[in-house]
Amino acid sequence: PPHYTEDLESILIPHGIIMDRIERLAKLIVDDSDGPLVVCCVLKGGHQFFADLVNCIKKLNTGLGHSVPLHLDFIKVKSYTNDQSTGEVRVSLSETELKDIKGKNLLIVEDIIDTGRTMVKLLSKLREFDPKSVRVASLLLKKTPLSNGYIPDYVGFAVPDSFVVGYALDYNEYFRDLDHICVISDHGKKAYAA
């Protein structure tokens, strides 16, 4: 049987639905964009959404509408162990590369806004480098009482207050290699506990 079967409660968003939504988001982003865009992937969880979103924008760029030249950038931010935010958001990025965002239009690409701590911290860090504009696209926005109120500019789906994995979202680094977005089971939480 496929791995992870026992470790998942349910499929929340099947891969095909994710892909359809990303096509729509790409269209919105292109329509809103004026000139080149620095698309910045928040590793690791954001990598799959970033890859598929960039692909969709590339396809739109070959069409008849206006096209948006892209710069691709990557930063790494981490705060989770098990299903809990440690509250300590570690941003690892190269200052020299960050200086390049000065005066540029920035699109940050993230997998999920949960408490919102990661994004608030990241935004304040990026603003120090004086970009012209900053927008955030998050595939998921969790409805949780722990939210600090941060709402991204573009959202793929609102998700309930359970721990979701797959499509590059992890639980202690597991489940990133899953096409669908799923809810982890208690069995899975125990099996892969840190």
Which residues are near ligand PRP by CB under 6 A?
Answer: 42, 44-45, 77-80, 85, 110-118, 170
Please say which residue, 30 or 136, places its beta carbon nearer to Mg ion: 136
CB of 122 to ligand PRP, least distance (A): 8
Please say which residue, 76 or 187, places its beta carbon nearer to Mg ion: 76
By rule CB under 5 A, what string of x and - marks binding of each residue 15-54 to Mn ion?
------------------------------x---------
Among residues 49, 50, 80, 192, which is the contact residue for Mg ion, using CB under 5 A? 80
Angle made by CA atoms 38, 40, 44, in degrees to the nearest 5:
165
Residue 167 contacts Mg ion per CB under 5 A: no
Please tell me the number of Cα atoms within 13 Å of 125 on its side-chain side. Answer: 18
How many Å separate Cα 45 from the centre of its chain? 6
Query: Is the CB of residue 87 less than 8 Å from the CB of residue 76?
Result: no
What, of Mg ion, ligand PRP, Mn ion, none, does residue 138 touch, CB below 5 to 8 Å by kind?
none
114 assigned to active site: yes
Q: Identify the active-site residue in 114, 153, 170, 177.
A: 114
Both tokens of 172, joined, read 């202690």
User: CB under 8 Å to 29, separation ≥6 — which residues?
Assistant: 37, 53, 57, 68, 107, 135, 137, 154
Please say which residue, 105 or 118, places its beta carbon nearer to Mg ion: 118
Place of tokens 């948006």: 68
How many Å separate Cα 65 from the centre of its chain? 26
Both tokens of 115, joined, read 């408490």
Residues that bind Mg ion in the complex, under the rule CB under 5 A:
80, 170
Looking at the annotation, which residues are catalytic?
A: 114
